[in-house]
Amino acid sequence: MGSSFSADLTGKTAVVTGASSGIGYAIAEEYLRNGAKVVGLHRRADTEHRGDYLPVVTDLADPEWTREVVAEVLQEHRLDVLVNNAGINLRHPFEDFPVEDWDRVQQLNIRSVAELTQSFGRPMLDRGSGVIINLASMLSFTGGFTASAYAASKGAVAQFTKSVANEWAPKGVRVNAIAPGFIDTEMNVALLADEIRNRQILERIPAGRWGTAADIAGAALFLASDAAQFVHGTVLPVDGGYLAR
């Protein structure tokens, strides 16, 4: 007989990076609605959520500041779930890609993910339980256009997720990633406004629409819950069927 699982996160504490807007905001809201305490790491000081929410202001592009904040969070909280959501995409033709912008993308999109996973993951390993959810991308699978730094970083996130899952699954810590498709958020305002490109994108999505931040939050709730107990090392596309076409 199979077991019955719940998505109830009552009693759990989650850290969500970039919880001040877009996908991160929606994930934090979904976790709060399902009983979790959420610690949000973000740059905006004015972020508000209903429920047991603790905003922590930091800049993940600043490793020293981030390490100080992580130490403070770990002193005060037992962490059950980490969602590495914060990210940036700086676009340039590759032949003109400034090395400073390349480094900014890698710092936020993969180095901070690795550092936060390591720091917050150690207590999880000590307890033998915990969940890490990384935000990958469609560009973990495809190359994109004028997005070489972003594609490189998100390809790294996918492979990093699989590698750490191989190490930590036997120790009771689940490590997975979500690969959002084309989602109607601030990051994609220019694409949504581009009539031709927008039409091309919609023509390839079998579901016939752009995704919403809530679509990604639903997947993040599943992966954080007991319903995903046997899910390790996956990169879950939430893309309306985009990759299938």
Look at residue 242 and tell me if it is in a domain.
Answer: no
Catalytic sites, residue numbers: 150
Look at residue 6 and tell me if it is in a domain.
Answer: no
Number of domains, the chain: 1
- Per-residue pLDDT, 4: 59
Look at residue 1 and tell me if it is in a domain.
Answer: no
Look at residue 97 and tell me if it is in a domain.
Answer: yes
Look at residue 227 and tell me if it is in a domain.
Answer: yes
Look at residue 56 and tell me if it is in a domain.
Answer: yes
- Per-residue pLDDT, 5: 64
Q: For residue 131, what are the domain limits?
A: 13-233
**Helical ranges in the chain per DSSP H:** 22-33, 63-76, 99-106, 112-127, 148-168, 189-193, 195-204, 213-224
Distance CA(181)–CA(147), nearest Å, equals 15
CB count in 10 Å sphere of residue 23: 29
- Per-residue pLDDT, 6: 67
pLDDT tens-digit readout, 109-135: 999 999 999 999 999 999 999 999 999
Look at residue 240 and tell me if it is in a domain.
Answer: no
- Per-residue pLDDT, 1: 43
Which residues of the chain fall below pLDDT 70? 1-6
- Per-residue pLDDT, 7: 87
- Per-residue pLDDT, 111: 97
Task: Please name the residue that has the structure tokens 């976790």.
Answer: 31
- Per-residue pLDDT, 64: 95
Q: 0.85 exceeded by the pTM?
A: yes
- Per-residue pLDDT, 39: 98
Distance CA(102)–CA(113), nearest Å, equals 16
Q: What is the CATH number of the domain that holds 43?
A: 3.40.50.720
Look at residue 5 and tell me if it is in a domain.
Answer: no
List 37's β-bridge partners, or say none.
13
